[in-house]
Amino acid sequence: MLLTVRDLKKTYPGAEGPAPVLRGVDLDLAAGESLALTGESGSGKSTLLHLVGGLDRPDGGQIALDGEELSVLDDAGRARLRRGTVGVIFQQFNLIPSLDVAANIAFQARLAGRHDAARDAQLAEALGLAPHLAKYPEQLSGGQQQRVAIARTLSAAPRLVLADEPTGNLDEATAAHVLEAMLALVTGSGAALLMVTHSQALAARLDRRLHLTGGRLA
Ligand SMILES: Nc1ncnc2c1ncn2[C@@H]1O[C@H](COP(=O)(O)OP(=O)(O)OP(=O)(O)O)[C@@H](O)[C@H]1O
């Protein structure tokens, strides 16, 4: 198993006392597998991605990535994991305005010491970014910026890709096309994809589907 989650719990402090969001989540994801995570707004999908990505700490339970238990890692260890094993695609693109598209795509891979120009060219082609490589983020549409953010994460070749509505800014046809490209690039290379989506049509394209409700997965 690439990812194993057991009895994961997370509670946020709320105005009316502690508000449990995750009440014991169990999840397994194998290398090469894709999993869609659905659930109502506020059900805790982003919270789960943040915990698995090591961006926040759970209140209880275990998360193991490649057999390595996250809770025993210090900040430096979790940062190493974020640079190496895990890649996240968030709803905010966080592109670097002073870098052109090609340099934005290469950014994380360069940080991780894994930049591969041929892989970037393949990503740009697959995601329809080839004509835009010399442009700057402010010259791109929202959907184009979103595709740059996807390419930047995949460029670093993470073993596990965590994606929060990665095609949320795209029209239906482009979203379907970009998802197919992502699936081919991620699972085709033996990596795994855990993707949050509100779209049942997109969820159906992935290997498995889980629904988050009442703080648990079903
Ligand atoms: N940092 C935080 N502090 C306090 N409460 C939070 C925090 N982050 C999230 N929450 C609360 O936890 C619950 C789950 O939020 P989360 O963003 O994980 O839901 P979601 O399923 O991703 O929602 P959406 O589909 O709308 O993006 C919500 O009620 C939210 O208000």
Q: What is the pLDDT of residue 188?
A: 87
Q: What is the mean pLDDT of each run of 10 residues along the chain (218 residues)?
A: 96 93 97 97 96 92 92 84 86 94 96 94 96 98 95 95 93 92 92 96 96 96
Q: What is the pLDDT of residue 81?
A: 79
Contact 170, 89 (CB under 8 A): no
Indicate the CATH number of 3-217 among 3.40.50.300, 3.40.50.2000, 1.10.8.100, 3.40.1180.10: 3.40.50.300
Ligand 1 mutation target, pool 10, 46, 57, 212, most atoms within 8 A of CB: 46
- Count CB-CB contacts under 10 A for residue 88: 22
**Distance from Cα 164 to the centre of ligand 1, integer Å:** 13
Q: What is the pLDDT of residue 73?
A: 86
Spell out the domain ranges in the chain. 3-217
Q: What is the pLDDT of residue 82?
A: 76
Say yes or no: CB of residue 46 within 6 Å of ligand 1.
yes
Say yes or no: CB of residue 41 within 6 Å of ligand 1.
yes
| Strand (E) or helix (H) holding 175 | helix 172-187
Helices (H), 62-171: 75-84, 101-111, 117-126, 142-155
Say yes or no: CB of residue 144 within 6 Å of ligand 1.
no
Return the bridge partners of 187, or none.
Answer: none
32, 64, 201 from 188: Cα distances, Å: 7, 23, 21
**Distance from Cα 188 to the centre of ligand 1, integer Å:** 32
**Distance from Cα 190 to the centre of ligand 1, integer Å:** 31
Interior/surface letters 53-77, b for 16+ CB within 10 angstroms, e for the rest: bbeeebeebebebeeeebeeeeeee
**Distance from Cα 6 to the centre of ligand 1, integer Å:** 20
Contact 88, 53 (CB under 8 A): yes
Task: Report which protein residue has its CA nearest ligand 1's atom 31.
Answer: 42
